[in-house]
Amino acid sequence: MIIQSLAFYLFSIVAVASAVMVISARNPVHSVLFLILAFFNSAGLFVLLGAEFLAMILVVVYVGAVAVLFMFVVMMLDINFTALREGFLQYLPLGGLIGLVLLLELAVILGGWIIAPGAAERAAAPTPAIDSVNNTEALGQLIYTNYIYFFQAAGMVLLVAMIGAIVLTHRSRPGVRKQKISEQVAREDSIEMRDMPSGGGI
């Protein structure tokens, strides 16, 4: 148990510290790197909770894909660091307010468990008992069997958003020359097969 608690404190301290660094680092690329470190440590916390599937998905999706795109964009931006700092005090009250609201919401959720102890059991009810199936299978049954229509609806919303993004940003420019690989391959005189003796030339 000691090892687990040590691991918990390690992951959570690094996660919180890197989350603080995300908003306080001077260089935006460092911010993204600290964000990645925070994601990674949250994945570690998920593993400690026994939610290994969520941990891996967090790493694959957020660290492996989303943060790469963040980093891609941030690295290419030409940012004026001093101008970035100037707005700090101006946005502080609004940011603080949003932070406070989030904190209150968390308090309501955690407080709910204390006020009504039965709530936690009810929340966990839809999955089958965790000792009969592993948690990947439990999640799969939940998403793809019990709540398939909601899941599909969410998928449709994402698909529409994706198509929308492509339609809004796609420009068709006239006069662009494109390589047509099928035509090149189908051309008869483009490839000639020769039998080569080893060590000899053509």
Partner 1 sequence: MAEFWTGYAWPAIWIGLQVVAIIIPLLLCVAYLVYAERKVIAAIHLRRGPNVVGPYGLLQPIADGMKLFFKETVIPTGANRGVFIIAPVLTFTLALIAWAVIPVGDGLVIADINVGILYLFAISSLGVYGILMAGWASNSKYAFLGGLRSAAQMVSYEVSMGFIIISVLLVVGSLNLSDIVNAQRHIWFVIPLFPMAVIFFVSTLAETNRHPFDLPEAEAELVSGYNVEYSSMAFALFFLGEYANMILMSAMTTILFLGGWLPPFNVAPFTWIPGPIWFAAKIAFCLFIFLWVRATFPRYRYDQLMRLGWKVFLPISLAAVVIVGGVVLAFDIQSLVK
Number of residues that bind partner 1 (CB under 8 A): 29
> 49 to each of 11, 45, 185, how far by Cα in Å?
12, 6, 55
Which of 142, 160, 162, 164 has its CA nearest to residue 151? 142
| Part of the chain binding partner 1 (CB under 8 A), chosen from 9-17, 69-77, 166-174, 184-192 | 69-77
Kindly state whether residue 159 participates in binding partner 1, applying the rule CB under 8 A.
no
CB of 83 to partner 1, least distance (A): 20
Least Å from the CB of residue 106 to partner 1 = 27
Does 37 engage in binding with partner 1 (CB under 8 A)? no
Q: Residues near 46 by Cβ (< 8 Å), separated by ≥ 6?
A: 52, 54, 55, 58
Position 186 contacts partner 1 (CB under 8 A): no
25: left (phi over 0), alpha (psi -120 to 50) or beta: beta
Q: How many whole angstroms separate alpha carbon 200 and alpha carbon 192?
A: 18
Q: Which of residues 77-116 bind partner 1 (CB under 8 A)?
A: none
Binding site for partner 1 (CB under 8 A): 2-3, 27, 29-30, 33, 36, 52-53, 56-57, 59-60, 63-65, 68-69, 71-72, 75-76, 134-136, 179, 181, 198-199
